[in-house]
Structure 1
Amino acid sequence: MHPRDHSHDSRPAIIMADSGGTVSFAELDARANRVSHLLRARGLQAGDRIALWIDNSPYYHEIAWGAYNAGLLFVPISTRLKAEEAAYIVRDSGSALLFASPSVDCAGMAAILGEEVEMLILGDSYDRAVAPLPTTPIPDETRGSAMVYSAGTTGRPKGITPHLTPAPIGEPHPLTTTLIDLFQLDANTIYLSPAPLYHTAPLKWTMAVQQAGGTAVIMEKFDAAAALRALETHRVTHSQWVATMFVRMLQLDEQQRRFDNSAHRFAIHSAAPCPVPVKEAMMDWWGPILHEYYGGSESVGQTAIGPQEWLQRKGSVGRATRGILHIVDEAGHELGPHQTGLVMFEGCGGFTYHNDPEKTGRAYDARGWATFGDIGHVDEDGYLFLTDRRDYVINAGGVNIYPQEAENLLSTHPAVQDVAVFGVPNAEYGEEVKAVVQPRDPAAAGPALAGELIDWCRARLATNKCPRSIDFEADMPREPTGKLLKRLLKARYWPQPSGENHV
């Protein structure tokens, strides 16, 4: 199962929702083959890495499929990152080539990397490099994979490296097969992807749709009203969202919310917990077509829940569809129904955190069970309910934000004595970034210093990683060993759970 299986016809593999640009399966296969030839011409073999610092565009899939067909690991990088942040990922991943959109800071990246890594700019040096290359497949095709980046113990992101084994390109990864079967993806699927392709789910899902022979309709940038128009215009059958997108669509006025939803059969959501009232409102509006799944870039397991099941168990993320689900206490002992502990999966482990054996070790136990690091409980029928996260990852609108980067940066400001960064409730995004600062001069605490620190952070990090607000403390809670008791600070901003048996 592969997009090439459908290259005999002119059906679109890609439609850009805003511009209307299309790429047929035949065109996608030809362009991907040129990329594969380019990679081999640069001396890259199966298991090598390339990086993609690219906006949503047809270029994304031709490069991703070209790397996939050549057995490479391709590393998506957020276009929101500044050049120094993106360069860290390029270097850490060992990427030999960087493909970049002209809209990102190519000059800044070039100044940092120099001749260390070749950078090909879309619409410029990239187009010249692939133009003369063959559109036929390379002779030694083998299945590759994405290598996405997550948080590391130092605050720097860490690559999630899948265990690659040689396999034909037409043999999908088991996760892809699960998605295709679970959500009935086929050649009649028209799938709307409203999120950036540098995120794991949008990239993997659009590629799964193309493997099944369906069409991926890709928004260049999310807009609530435009998303509804795209659902109607393209007769979309499947779509995927995060809870923040639901909130924004529900905030539209009555006229903007009117659209023909008759073709829409699967509205899938994941990445961040969806508040029960928001999901209820979406069900009332779109009908019982909302499907939810829980998983992660590490692919250690997955749960899913359909609309009718959810209406009977509101707040659940479903039962296991990949792997065997376990809830364990701090000692690793399995817990019973309604007991809260660490969520683990058996039978799907197969990754390492690149250059971080400590973080890899924390993801597995002695039995080989693996975890995303989330806390939750199951009911008597095995339905999972998530309640917390093991670490202090901030989930803002489905995007994971790792507070250590902002915390480390703010700690270097001359006005800061001590600092903690964590997530606090946000009605639209679920969470937002908050900093609590102990100033060197207590008299300086106030709005002026808060604004200065926020601006200082935004000049050095991607805006979404920076605090949206800052509070001040005369003294920070620390253990005698010096460990910051961040949980005590965070607890002040969050409602305290009740009614569960926490272990």
Structure 2
Amino acid sequence: MQLGGGDPDRLAVVVSDTGESLTYRELEEGSARLARLWHAAGLRPGDDVALMMGNHVRFMEVYWAAMRSGLRFTTVNTFLTPREVEHVLRDSGATALVVDAAVGTRAEEIAREPWAPSLRLAVGGAVAGFESYEEAVVAHEPTPLDTQPMGVRVLYSSGSTGLPKAIERSLPGTDVSVGAQRQADYLAQSYGMTASSVAVSPAPLHHAAPLSFAGGTLALGATLVLSTRFDVERLLADVSTYAATHALVVPTMFVRLLRLPAEVREAADVSSLEYVVHGAAPCPVGVKRAMIEWWGPVIWEYYAGTEDNGSTYISSTEWLAHEGSVGRAAPGCVIHVCDAVSGLEVPAGVDGVVWFEQVGDGVLEPFTYRGAPEKTSGSRHPLHPRWTTLGDVGHLDDEGYLYLTDRVDHLVISGGVNISPQETENTLVEHPDVLDVAVFGVPDEELGQRLVAVVQPAPGVAPSDELRAALLAWARERLARHKVPRTLDFTDELPRSAAGKIYKKRLQAAYGGTITAG
């Protein structure tokens, strides 16, 4: 494998808010040096390495070093609690850990623990208990190892319902060039990316979708534009400055873009964009329609999970004809919607549990959740063991387009009626005074559960009884009575991951029984 193909001087990675960058020659040589360092330290295919780093310019260098060494690669979310970090590092069995200096005292605390990985490197500055990454790798040759088996990602679930669980697969058993080509082909075939493309990715790389997007971008030889944190105006500036052709975003970013002042939106130059890909969380219909009106028919949506067990995607043109759909099955998989009790497939238009079946060439071995046999078993269809689910509920239409309703574990049963919180969230977030919202159920003696909404007001909007009344009135005009929250409260910020997923269990624990009735 030669990263960057025939143009080693092409810009591979740039971090827009720091100005740091790597050419493909630097990325290739840096990843080869680190691979040799790990090999000299005794790491062999199947061993585990971990990376705890923000969107640093060296992030993908470490990633490709692991991929070209046959190693099992785990990212540690920098926003995890100390207990969660300990769990991931101990559970992964990582013998090597790379951090960036910005992690600071948290990394130093890890180094003092008896369970800390024995080989520790820090990028970009001194960290007590860690060797200097830059000084360590320069001692090794910038040439590939004689054999380069493809590594595998071992990423962890969000941990919103307990400690994070590792999503595991066997090593592919192929050369890294085969795995890299697979990543490149997916972006090329699905979203028209080429070596001349420029891709903006403002979300943290430690999440599955941004990491896949970045890996494919670099496997193709295109340019990847990162930022250390998401800022809505920086996203627009990056698109303009680098003439970006592609972008990967999440729906909450769309909401924040639409809340910008009209003059800022009108001044933004997004004419270079060809594909804007979004997923990770449902996108309200009104929000997506407004983005297509602004940016044009360049917005594509996907539905998939860290489990990599199947996916869908849909273009703007298709979506406008099937509003609310997340698309049809991507090549290599089939979607089945089944009754939750019998396991039998249900007719078009009827909600059920969504299952993926992988078909054709290149079928992956089913994933497992490490140390969670019940969760693994629950992800397998009772009648078709190779069908797997992410735990989502939805339905297919007559043309095979999938519509997601909600997650199985998010459904609220109030007064004997099933309620999808997602529908209520989508309605409330379209109000101009709302920046973000979460809807969930809490125990209720009379109803079993009552529906609660927690709203993060838009910038410049103050929480008040008047705002509460206005939002509830907005909901009553658009929803059936049982879908209107019984309780509505305000918060400065919702606990949402940088990948766009909201931690509803945390909200239920924090707000259950303590919310002011609306």
Answer yes or no: same fold by TM over 0.5. yes
Pairwise mapping of residues 59-74 of structure 1 onto structure 2 (< 5 A)?
A: 59-74=58-73
**Per the alignment, do residues 277 and 113 of structure 1 end up closer, same or farther by CA in structure 2, a change over 3 Å counting?**
farther
- TM-score (structure 2 length as normaliser): 0.77
Q: Does 1:142 align with 2:152?
A: no
Q: Distance in 2 between matches of 1:134 and 1:73?
A: 22
Counterpart pick for 2:369 among 345, 353, 356: 353
What secondary structure does 1:256 align onto?
helix
Provide the aligned C-alpha RMSD in A.
3.0
Q: What is the match of residue 446 of structure 1?
A: none
Counterpart pick for 1:323 among 327, 330, 333: 333
> Do 1:343 and 1:374's aligned partners in 2 also have CA atoms closer than 8 Å?
yes
Q: Distance in 2 between matches of 1:222 and 1:386?
A: 27
Render the CA deviation track for 1:135-173: whole Å, top value 9, x for unaligned.
000112111122110157972111111232211111137
What secondary structure does 2:213 align onto?
helix
Counterpart pick for 2:179 among 153, 172, 175: 172
Pairwise mapping of residues 12-161 of structure 1 onto structure 2 (< 5 A)?
A: 12-104=11-103, 105-113=106-114, 117-123=118-124, 124=126, 125=131, 126-150=133-157, 155-161=162-168
What secondary structure does 1:98 align onto?
strand
> Do 2:326 and 2:401's aligned partners in 1 also have CA atoms closer than 8 Å?
yes
Q: What is the match of residue 486 of structure 2?
A: none
Q: Distance in 2 between matches of 1:201 and 1:388?
A: 20
Q: Does 1:383 align with 2:378?
A: no
Q: Does 1:372 align with 2:390?
A: yes
> Do 1:7 and 1:26's aligned partners in 2 also have CA atoms closer than 8 Å?
no
Q: Distance in 2 between matches of 1:430 and 1:133?
A: 50
Q: Distance in 1 between matches of 2:15 and 2:160?
A: 38
Q: Distance in 2 between matches of 1:113 and 1:7?
A: 46
Q: Distance in 1 between matches of 2:210 and 2:437?
A: 20
What secondary structure does 2:17 align onto?
coil
- TM-score (structure 1 length as normaliser): 0.79
Counterpart pick for 1:332 among 332, 335, 343: 343
What secondary structure does 1:339 align onto?
coil
Render the CA deviation track for 1:355-398: whole Å, top value 9, x for unaligned.
2222111111242111111110000000000001122499xxxx
Pairwise CA distance, 1:108: 2.1
Query: Percent identity, aligned pairs only?
Result: 33
Q: What is the match of residue 235 of structure 2?
A: 227
What secondary structure does 1:157 align onto?
coil
> Do 1:189 and 1:215's aligned partners in 2 also have CA atoms closer than 8 Å?
yes
Q: Distance in 2 between matches of 1:334 and 1:437?
A: 33
Pairwise CA distance, 1:255: 2.7
Q: What is the match of residue 269 of structure 1?
A: 278
Pairwise CA distance, 1:216: 0.4
Structure 2: gaps spanning 5 or more residues: 413-420, 430-434, 446-490, 496-501
Render the CA deviation track for 1:101-133: whole Å, top value 9, x for unaligned.
222211222233465543322134222221201
> Do 1:375 and 1:387's aligned partners in 2 also have CA atoms closer than 8 Å?
yes
Q: In structure 2, what residue type is equivalent to 1:356? A: A
May I ask how many residue pairs the two structures share in their alignment? 428
After TM superposition, the structure 1 stretch with the greater mean CA deviation from structure 2, 255-264 or 107-116, is 107-116
Pairwise CA distance, 1:89: 0.2
Render the CA deviation track for 1:330-372: whole Å, top value 9, x for unaligned.
2211111011111011125531111222211111124211111
Q: Distance in 1 between matches of 2:168 and 2:235?
A: 33
Q: In structure 2, what residue type is equivalent to 1:73? A: R
Render the CA deviation track for 1:426-455: whole Å, top value 9, x for unaligned.
7334537897799xxxxxxxxxxxxxxx9x
**Per the alignment, do residues 334 and 76 of structure 1 end up closer, same or farther by CA in structure 2, a change over 3 Å counting?**
same
Q: In structure 2, what residue type is equivalent to 1:338? A: G
Pairwise CA distance, 1:3: 5.3
> Do 1:296 and 1:372's aligned partners in 2 also have CA atoms closer than 8 Å?
yes
Q: In structure 2, what residue type is equivalent to 1:122? A: V
Pairwise CA distance, 1:88: 0.9
Pairwise CA distance, 1:469: 9.0
Q: In structure 2, what residue type is equivalent to 1:319? A: R
**Per the alignment, do residues 379 and 187 of structure 1 end up closer, same or farther by CA in structure 2, a change over 3 Å counting?**
same
Q: Does 1:197 align with 2:196?
A: no
Q: Distance in 1 between matches of 2:199 and 2:347?
A: 39
Q: What is the match of residue 418 of structure 1?
A: none
> Do 2:195 and 2:222's aligned partners in 1 also have CA atoms closer than 8 Å?
yes
> Do 2:54 and 2:78's aligned partners in 1 also have CA atoms closer than 8 Å?
yes
Q: Distance in 2 between matches of 1:329 and 1:311?
A: 28
